[in-house]
Structure 1
Amino acid sequence: MEFVKKRVLITDVDNTLLDWQNLWYETFSAMTQKVLEISGVDPNELYAQCSVVHQKYGTSEYSRLLEELPCLRQLYGDDVVTVMAPAIDSFRAARRRVLQLYPTVEDTLKALKASGVFIAAFTESKAFYTGYRFRKLGLDGLIDYLYSPADHSMPDGTAGARFYEPESYSFKHTVHHYTPEGEVKPNPDILVQIIADLGAAIDEVVYVGDNILKDVLMAQQAGVTDVHALYGASQHKPEYELLRKVTHWTPEMVERERRALKPGGLMATHVLEKEFAQILPLFEMRS
């Protein structure tokens, strides 16, 4: 059997390169616990309003969340950010504590890059937080291209300051392209377009991701060598339940993923059971 040498890696980001589920849970929990402590609002009301805002912007990482929660605006008006400064500080402290790459990710990416493999990332996470994490984790330049949605727009009436200097989230080396507005995984057409943008052929590409529906199915539909980052599969962690309470996912999205996760629903061609480094043999094939 002949193999075409793989020269391009396209990787998902969240729960593939880093434990996004844990990062989100630790930061969101730290922030909301402080919000509840300061405000005394009902937790169920808080979570329900978070879900409404998250669905409005299509992300569970909306950076202006607190300013748009009716329960907080009713209490504090335009002073929400000032009053909730300790909650924002708690969010940042938790992020400093837990933000890190999975074991073997950095060394594996460096080894692939040193061997001439072109590396791109394709994520559904919005531009701002993705950019911030890339810079803090040393991925700027290690990954050649990033494809992500643009950031959410800021509504009228929210404070204009970002709280971060542009150097925290803008790139120096990685080329950042935006995916079409409103398009989400699994979308094999976008993946095929990314491959065309990279000047590669379908059979030269390996795609890796943690989500059996959004990543594995998409790669298979595009005809790309698919790899399931099983070590990063997060749907059954306890943290997932809190995310479901405040998620931006619609019921239809949740049901579609539930069906895909059923035994025998979808099978990956290659599986990384323990760590990211297990992907290396796929790039050692020769024709």
Structure 2
Amino acid sequence: MGKATRDAYGEALKELGAVNPDIVVLDADLSASTKTQVFAKAYPDRFFDTGIAEANMMGVAAGLAAAGKIPFASTFAVFGAGRAYEQIRNSICYPKLNVKVAVTHAGLTVGEDGATHQMLEDITLMRALPNMTVIVPADAAETKAAVKWAASYYGPVYIRMGRAKVDDIMPEDYTFQPGKSYEVCEGSDVTIIACGIMVAKAKEAHDALLKKGISARVINMASIKPIDEEAIIKASKETGAIVTCEEHTVKGGLGGAVAEVLALNAPCPMAMVGTEDTFGQSGKADELLKVYGLTAEHIAEEAEKLVQKKN
């Protein structure tokens, strides 16, 4: 097991701060949890704790961006994408300001904090906004690469991270490119497209399917918007079946984004693994993932069904 993506975020901010004096970080009184405290300790004059006032934080970030700074605004996903949605829409995306909204504690793996804190709709909200880039890194290496890319790009970026430790998936020298996916496993019978913590589970599903004689391609789709249309169309034509996996609602998230590409370009049998039309509940992270079907076993089952349907 590797480190949590939020830990990699804190490290990346500190590294960026050392080479770029325009990097500033804002937090809504959660710096110990979002790991922005790592940056705060190193560069206290460039760190701003705005308190439990997320909407105001986004406005302050917009002002700093308008003044030429590169602000990273951090809080939990439910407060960043949810409570501050209007400010992100009107103060950041509409004028296309150079603000990076980097959120942690997304999805069911927030665990015992329960439904109120388990943000399962943020990808849908953020990818619907014009000018917004949406990234869901799979592990620590990809988080660092995505954060460093975001700092070099001019425009709004939403980076979605989790609370728990995750398996290492990507090579250490990985370079993030928006609109480009990464093929984790080769396969010819079915394609599993995943993001975030579900990439590791997709890889487990690949191994389980291989024992049954099913060859599953696994694609890490960290760039939700822009999405890698070329890889999706290629997968549809070459494998003829696609399963999407996300720690998020299937309504408008990764599954919805992939379905849009398929419907317009290369339709094929498809299944979506994620939460349905429901909120989460309090519980241990691993137990919640099982309750909501976000497991390698469920991914493998859905993939096997599609292969049978295709044949």
TM class by shorter chain equals 0.3 to 0.5
User: What's the TM-score once normalised by structure 1's chain length?
Assistant: 0.34
Over alpha carbons, which structure has the higher Rg?
1
User: What's the TM-score once normalised by structure 2's chain length?
Assistant: 0.32
Identify the structure with bigger relative contact order (alpha carbons < 8 Å, sequence gap 6+).
1
More helix by proportion, 1 or 2?
1
